[in-house]
Structures are given as structure tokens and as C-alpha cells.
Structure 1
Amino acid sequence: MFSVSRRVLLQSFRRPVHASDLTCRRSCLTYLETRRAYSDKPPASSASSARDRNAVGVFTPKSAAIFLLTGLGLLYYFRHEKAKVLEQQEKDRANKAYGRPTVGGPFSLTTHTGATYTEKDLLGKWSMVYFGFTNCPDICPAEMDKMGLVLEAAEKEHGKIFNPVFVSVDPARDSPSRIAVYLKDFHPAFIGLVGSYQAVKAVCKAYRVYFSTPPNAKPEDDYLVDHSIFVYLMDPQGRFMEAFGQTVTTDEMLEKIREGHCGVEG
């Protein structure tokens, strides 16, 4: 490809103009203008790099923080919804029978003071029964605290007509003396119950409680315990009235009691 300078082109204009020269000059000028126009455009690679820099620049620290907070919010929401779904599934399973579900029945366990305790000891008061274990790191203490708050508020409105009960689902490690120490952190009216593995299994079956304690576990063994998370409300005749799940607040529990849903009279 050859190059024609503007100086040479101007010198050629001083000569006599012929029709053929005019056509040639127009062609040369057109070529020069076209070449200048192309030379003024940035290279394709430069334009692409600029676009890449702009795209990267959008992800600022602020947008990263918003993205992180949004992700954490979604994680909390889905965990909360999953807990509600599992709770409803447990209630649906317990309510498969027509009318009032059959929850509760005969049992014989040992209190944290060493006395024998049966289903007959639940009669005469409204009982709140919770199944857990003393090694539970967070859920059991939170539910026990919630029961204590409900008990204090309910007693102010209805009197001392409630009986809070803690049943251990970890008989290998939860001795009566250990439960006695554990209950000191909660409402003083709590009664702690435990028994042999078979006795605990029987009462859990009567109350439709799931637990995963190994049947041959020893006190020195290291194992995890999974169990249902419900507070069972039983009437003074020992009949099941309501199951409060982990997502139910103290205010909601008290509201159900106040509105007479559970048949409590002031």
C-alpha cells in the first residue's frame, strides 16, 4: 500500500488541470480523509478494556456489603421458615387421629429429689411438660426460660395452678442429682424427671416425642442427642390440650391461655 503526502498533492494542483487529473485528485483526497477517520478511532482492544474496567468498578465495597447482608437475611429467613414447616409437620403428625390427639399416658419416673413420679402426679393442675437434656447447649435452656416466663405471668392472672415438668431424654448422663443442679438456673417450681432407658422410651412414646439417645450409652460416652422441641400443656385431668413449638413466643402462649383456648379459668 503506498502513501501520498498532502504537499505532493498540493503541488500537483498548480499544474494545468485536466479532466483525468481532477478525477485522480478527488480519489486521493477521499483516500486521505478516510484514512484519517479510521486513525481517530480507538483500537478495539482499548474499547473492550474500558468496558471491562467499568464492569469491575460496579462491584464496590458498598455493593459487596449489601450483597453479603442480603445473603445473611435470606439464610435467616429460610432457616426460620424451615423450623416452622418442621413444627407444623410434627403437629400434623400428632393430629392424625380424629378429635383430640392421644398424647400422654401411664409412666413411672424418678424426680430430681429421688422420689417416684407417675402420671397421677400431674392431676389437679395444668402441667407444662418439656422433654430435653442437661447437656443441651442452647435450645433447651431457651425453652426452659420461656416456660418460666409464661409460668410467672400466668400465675399472676390465674394463681398457682401450673406444674412445670422437665423430662430428660438422656438417662445415661442425666442422673437425678445432675438434673437437680441443672434446674437451679430456672424457675424453682420445675420438677425434673428421669428413669431407665426403657422407662424414658415409654414416656416419650406416650407423648409422641422423638429422641435419638443411643440405648446402650454410658455416662462417659460422647454423643449427640436430637429430640422433639415442644412444650405440652396438659389439663388438670391429665388430658392433652396444646403443644407449643420452638417458634411460639411467650406472648403467644399467654394469649392462648387468656382467651380460654386451653380452658383455663381465672
Structure 2
Amino acid sequence: MKDRNYTKYVLVAFFLLMTGLISLFALTTTTPIGVTVEPIYELGGDFTAVGTDGEFSLSELHGSAVVMYFGFLSCTEACPDSIAVYQAARKKLTPEEREQVKFVFISVDPERDTPEKLKQFESFFNGHLIVVTDTVDNIETLTKQYGVYFDLVDLEGSALQYTVDHSSRFYMVDTEGNLVTAMSHSTTPNELAAKIRQLLTPTE
């Protein structure tokens, strides 16, 4: 009987360990299951894209913590939900902390998300959200640089013609421009605010 109980406890412990490892994998990688993933430390870096006022480079934001999100303006669920999470997280920061954090929304749908549409979208956020995109080729390069998955999916019979399947994650960049981690779209405002504070806290 003792041997059976011991075996049962070992199996339960193994199951819990595997569940934890799978969860850790899901939270620290940046592409869906079934797609080749790269370790977070091999991703990120400076880039240049097209902002609403001309050329934009991530290096312009050195000294600030940066939350990046890859999406598209026609997105009806993941993108607006994620922006709402960021806005709620931002409200949890002090005024001084808010001054030190930037949100960069990168459209992976440059064919539809024209500079005019990006500028109108950006205007809704009173200057605390930066919206950029680029050519199709440059967007493909940038998404590979950050390990972002996206795919255009035809919508037969729809006026939209297509939608975009994409990674829905917050890409957290520290004050020196380094990609630190990617957080799931299921992240709570409290969790996101806590991570932003970590990015703003100098390491010893």
C-alpha cells in the first residue's frame, strides 16, 4: 500500500512539474504552439518604422520603458482588449511613472492601415500611444526580429476581404532598448503595471 501511495505521489509531482514547464514555455516564448520559437534573449533590438509624423526608431525612446504590441486597426477583439489592459495598467502607475513609459502599437497590416488611419487612431490616446507601420517587406523583417507570428487569412464574402491571425502579447522593452520578456494577452492590468515598474527600476 505504501509503495502504491509513493508511486501515486511521484506521478502527481511529475504531472505538476510538466504543467509548470509548459506554462513557463507559453509565457516566455513569442509564437503560438506549432510555430518555430526562438529564445527571448535572441530577439528584439532597435528598428526603424513609419510613424504618424515620419520616420520612427525605437532608439528614440531610450530612457523610457516601452510596451510594444503588434496588431492591426481592423482587429475587433485581441487588439482593443489588449490596449484596454494597457490603459488600465497605466492608471495604476504614478504620474511620474506614466511619464517614463511609452506604448508602441505596430500595425502588421500596412495595406489597409494607411498613415491617415494611423494618425486618427493615435489621436484617441492623448499622446501616450505611438502607432507605426512600414512596408510589407519591412514588417516581415521586424516581426521576425521580435519573434512575432502573423498570417493573413482570407474572409470569403466579407467586405474586409481578409483578417490577420497574430501573436497577442505585450513585448516589454527596458529603458536601454532591450527586449526583456513577452507577456500574454491574458495578463492583468496589475501584472502589467508591476512589470512596467520593474523595467523602470535600475538594476544594481
Superposed CA offset, 1:50-92 (max 9, x none): xxxxxxxxxxxxxxxxxxxxxxxxxxxxxxxxxxx79943624
Q: Which amino acid aligns with 1:136?
A: C
Tell whether the 8 Å contact from 1:127 to 1:236 is kept in structure 2 after alignment: yes
Instruction: Determine if the alignment matches structure 1 residue 101 to structure 2 residue 41.
Output: yes
Tell whether the 8 Å contact from 2:64 to 2:102 is kept in structure 1 after alignment: yes
Instruction: Determine if the alignment matches structure 1 residue 110 to structure 2 residue 50.
Output: yes
Aligned to 2:26: 89
Unaligned runs of 5+ in 1: 1-84, 215-219
Aligned to 1:130: 69
Using the TM superposition, give the Cα deviation of residue 156 of structure 1 relative to its aligned residue in structure 2, in angstroms.
2.9
CA separation in 2, counterparts of 1:225 and 1:87? 26
Q: Secondary structure at the match of 2:93?
A: helix
CA separation in 1, counterparts of 2:93 and 2:168? 21
Q: Once structures 1 and 2 are overlaid, which stretch shifts more, 116-125 or 160-169?
A: 116-125
Instruction: After TM superposition, list the pairs within 5 Å mapping 1:245-260 onto structure 2.
Output: 245-258=184-197, 260=198
Instruction: After TM superposition, list the pairs within 5 Å mapping 1:69-80 onto structure 2.
Output: none
CA separation in 1, counterparts of 2:164 and 2:84? 20
* Structure having greater relative contact order (Cα 8 Å, sep ≥ 6): 2
CA separation in 2, counterparts of 1:119 and 1:106? 5
Aligned to 1:161: 100
CA separation in 2, counterparts of 1:163 and 1:110? 17
CA separation in 2, counterparts of 1:102 and 1:122? 21
Aligned to 1:264: 201
Identity of aligned residues (%): 25
The 1:130/1:158 distance shift into structure 2, 3 A limit, reads same
Using the TM superposition, give the Cα deviation of residue 183 of structure 1 relative to its aligned residue in structure 2, in angstroms.
2.8
Q: Secondary structure at the match of 1:233?
A: strand
Tell whether the 8 Å contact from 2:30 to 2:182 is kept in structure 1 after alignment: no
Instruction: After TM superposition, list the pairs within 5 Å mapping 1:207-226 onto structure 2.
Output: 207-213=146-152, 222-226=161-165
Q: Which amino acid aligns with 1:192?
A: V
Match 2:142 to one of 203, 212, 234: 203
Q: Higher strand proportion, which one?
A: 2
Superposed CA offset, 1:198-232 (max 9, x none): 11111111111011137xxxxx8611100001111
Larger Rg: 1
Q: Higher helix proportion, which one?
A: 1
Superposition RMSD on alpha carbons, in Å? 2.7
Tell whether the 8 Å contact from 1:233 to 1:240 is kept in structure 2 after alignment: yes
What is the count of residue pairs matched by the alignment? 171
Using the TM superposition, give the Cα deviation of residue 155 of structure 1 relative to its aligned residue in structure 2, in angstroms.
4.0
